[in-house]
Amino acid sequence: MAPSEGSYDLWCLRLRQRRTQVAPISHKAGTDRVLALFKKYEQMKSHQDVPRFVVVITLLLGCYDLLRGVMHTIFLHYSALHIAGLDLSTATASDQLRLLGAFGISNFETGIALILMGLYAQRLALAMLGVIPLLYLLGYFAIKSNIAGYEHSQANWGGAMPLMVYMSISVITFLLGMRSISNGNN
């Protein structure tokens, strides 16, 4: 007995027929597709347009950020007293240490992110070398406007000069990297 039009049995029969009617992909076509995917992956992986010096600087800055993270968290008390020059004899000492430690956690995040970008996403690493200084600049002006009207800080902030060097290296590397890409040099 033949299945009636619109029935479930007819639907199953047509589905089975379609499965058997589909021509298998030839070995050549399948191989071409796989090779095309590998080529695309290799192009994404190689990032040939990003100069090698950008990768090296990104990795070095990532390692430096990890060091900053260690100083802001593991050696927090030492850094607060001897580098930042904070006065920890006040009632706000624990608040100061907590904020300095929180900054250290973000240094760990930035350091690991820069190292991973340097290894696996060089184009993104180049972009971040331009973005990070802009974010610090935005933060600087935001902090400056929010502390207006309060007493001037007596802290030494010994890490400010190395941070300026870090920012300068980031900006210079970003600009030279972009110039190198636009000129087609690696």
Q: Give one DSSP letter per residue of 91-107, joined into a string.
A: TTHHHHHHHHHHHHHHH
Residue 7 lies in a domain: no
Residues 62, 26, single domain; the answer is no
Share of the chain above pLDDT 90, in %: 63
Residues 55, 142, single domain; the answer is yes
Average pLDDT of span 2-19: 68
CA atoms within a 13 Å half-sphere pointing along the CA-CB vector of 26: 3
Residues 24, 60, single domain; the answer is no
Residues 120, 178, single domain; the answer is yes
pLDDT digits (tens, 9 = 90+) for 52-91: 999 999 999 999 999 999 999 999 999 999 999 999 999 9
Name the domain count of the chain.
Answer: 2
Residues 28, 119, single domain; the answer is no
Structure tokens at 153: 């800080």
How many angstroms separate the first and last alpha carbons of the chain? 73
Residues 70, 26, single domain; the answer is no
Average pLDDT of span 1-28: 63
For residue 38, the model assigns a pLDDT of 62
Residues 39, 54, single domain; the answer is no
Q: Say which amino acid occupies 8.
A: Y
Residues 90, 166, single domain; the answer is yes
Q: Is the dihedral of CA 139, 143, 144, 146 positive or negative?
A: positive
Domain containing 18 equals 12-43
pLDDT digits (tens, 9 = 90+) for 80-135: 999 999 999 999 999 999 999 999 999 999 999 999 999 999 999 999 999 999 99
